Amino acid sequence: MEWKLDSDSNVPIYQQVVDFIERRIMYGELPPGSFLPSERKLATQLNVNRSTVTTAYNELRAMGIVESTTGRGTRVSTHMWGVSPTLTPNWRGFVEGGTFLPNLPLLRHIREQVQQNGTIIDFANGELGCNLFPHEQLQAILREQPLTQSLSYDHPQGYLPLRQAVVKYMKEYLKIEATEPSIMITSGAQQALHLIVQCLLNPGDAVAFESPSHCYSLPLFQSAGIRIFPLPVDKHGINPDDVQELYRKHRIKMIFLNPNFQNPTGTMLHPNRRKKLLSLCADLRIPIVEDDPSSLLTLENKQPCPTLKSIDENGTVIYVHSLSKMIAPGLRIGWLVAPQSVVERLSDARHQMELGMSIFPQWLMQQFFETVPFQSHIAPLRKQLSQKRDVIVNALNEHLQDKISFSNPNGGIYIWGKLNEPINEKQLIMQSLKQEIAFMPGSIFGAKDGYIRLSYGKVNIHQIEEGISRLREAIMVCEK
């Protein structure tokens, strides 16, 4: 059987390798007990990365199709293919079943390519670059502050000293008044959203969020059987009148918003719309989940725009915050602020899943808040992001002024662009990856074809212009 990579397929490359080997076994080309080539050799034969073959072999082992012996290699399982076929479960059936949907194939493909090819200039990743992390401050804490806390299971709502530090942080920097019982520490914002969806909503419930929105890239809503209705975003954010119309038509039960430096458009919800939205949702008794990872990432020394939570007088807003965009995503520290009854419900559910979070990163962040003036970190971070924003804007104006329309962001780490001429989105993605540049297509966020999101948070500042130049080349190839 001849191997043929389908680069246009939504199926990840490793899965194509899995399917190829499985078919060869089923057709008798690889009988039970026969050895497969080494990972390096098969990668050369198939002209794919060795890490792709490693992932494929791991998948085949998990499915029970092959087995490995240290020092001897990998061979086709004799149990699976004849001697005792009932011993191995049908793992593929389990993998393809279940209620939790996988990530979007296109999203998985982009991430896979970036992970496998270290030379790709990465405008797709929505993280900060490692050089922007507060390494010195964190290392000083680890050197100088003894870890005296117990390493036993933590409180279901999270490490109390960190919650106390969060109360002070939110009051000073976000103008949000909260108490420790109203705070739940989470493993980033996404865990908070997952718990809200799973614990406060039921299958068939209707919710609304911005369109476009990063929420469209999260299958957790569809996995929970939630009906989704879009709130179009213009240059001033969503229109509260649209919320009222959706409630009239569909009785939406909850709204998910990212009002400050919205992902992916970078827009800010206008102050007048904020007030009108809060009043309307209070009247209709619709909770607002405010996802706010970036409001402090204002550029050009501008004051942060008030969060919805800070001006919420009726207890309408569940506030979700994360340090991933400001300190380090790998620490997985975020939190939510909600009525105490809601926090207790969500923390009880999380406690059933994992008996609480790891104490160590919580302790580390508590020490960071207590010993490091936050302004000494956020001020230089804003300055460096401003510099990167200026570089990418200048590069876009120089290389793609006739190809892409975009707005100059005042904060956050994203630029939202619209291609001036229609181009097949998938073709552009594949061509860009060939030119070793990655970005996020608009369709992942629920937008129509012709939109792209460029993140300047992680990419090296010295690679930005080269990356934009490569993007132009990819666009020109696709226009032919």
Domain with residue 164: its CATH number is: 3.40.640.10
Q: What is the C-alpha to C-alpha distance for residues 14 and 116, in angstroms, rounded to an integer?
A: 11
In a domain, 461, yes or no: yes
pLDDT band of residue 106 (cuts 50, 70, 90) is confident
Query: Strand 73-76 and strand 66-69: pairing?
Result: antiparallel
pLDDT band of residue 472 (cuts 50, 70, 90) is very high
Distance of CA 121 to the CA centre of its chain: 18
Q: CB-hemisphere CA count at 13 Å for 188? A: 13
In a domain, 141, yes or no: no
Q: Give the rounded percent of residues in the chain with a pLDDT score beyond 70.
A: 93
Q: How many CB atoms lie within 10 A of CB 325?
A: 26
**pLDDT tens readout for residues 239-256:** 999 999 999 999 999 999
**pLDDT tens readout for residues 80-100:** 544 444 445 666 666 667 767
Q: How many CB atoms lie within 10 A of CB 177?
A: 12
Report pLDDT for 347: 95
Compute CA distances 447 → 188, 212, 241, 242, 456, whole Å: 25, 5, 21, 18, 20
Residue 70: is it exposed, middle or buried by C-beta count within 10 angstroms (0-12/13-18/19+)? exposed
Q: What is the C-alpha to C-alpha distance for residues 429 and 41, in angstroms, rounded to an integer?
A: 29
- Give yes or no: residues 245 and 282 share one domain: yes
The least confident of 75-79, 149-153, 413-417 is 149-153
Q: What is the C-alpha to C-alpha distance for residues 384 and 128, in angstroms, rounded to an integer?
A: 11
- Give yes or no: residues 162 and 283 share one domain: yes
Q: How many CB atoms lie within 10 A of CB 219?
A: 14
Q: CB-hemisphere CA count at 13 Å for 229? A: 19
Report pLDDT for 88: 56
Report pLDDT for 395: 96
Query: Strand 227-232 and strand 254-257: pairing?
Result: unpaired
Question: In the listed set 354, 371, 388, which residue is the last one of a domain according to the structure?
Answer: 371
Count of domains in the chain? 3
pLDDT exceeds 70 at position 27 = no
Q: What share of the chain is helix, strand, coil (3-state, %, to 5)?
A: 50, 15, 40
Q: Which two tokens stand for residue 338?
A: 């909600």
Beta bridge mates, 408: none
Q: What is the C-alpha to C-alpha distance for residues 376 and 385, in angstroms, rounded to an integer?
A: 15
Q: Are the CB atoms for 256 and 235 separated by under 8 Å?
A: no
pLDDT exceeds 70 at position 164 = yes
Report pLDDT for 20: 87
- Give yes or no: residues 367 and 472 share one domain: no
User: What backbone torsions phi and psi does residue 8 show, to the nearest 5 degrees?
Assistant: -90, -5
Q: Which two tokens stand for residue 165?
A: 């530090």
Give me the amino acid identity at 25. Answer: I
Instruction: Note the pTM of the prediction, 2 decimals.
Output: 0.81
pLDDT exceeds 70 at position 433 = yes
Domain with residue 468: its CATH number is: 3.90.1150.10
Q: What is the C-alpha to C-alpha distance for residues 109 and 478, in angstroms, rounded to an integer?
A: 19
Question: In the listed set 324, 345, 371, which residue is the last one of a domain according to the structure?
Answer: 371
Which range marks the domain in which residue 122 is found? 105-132+377-479
Beta bridge mates, 478: none
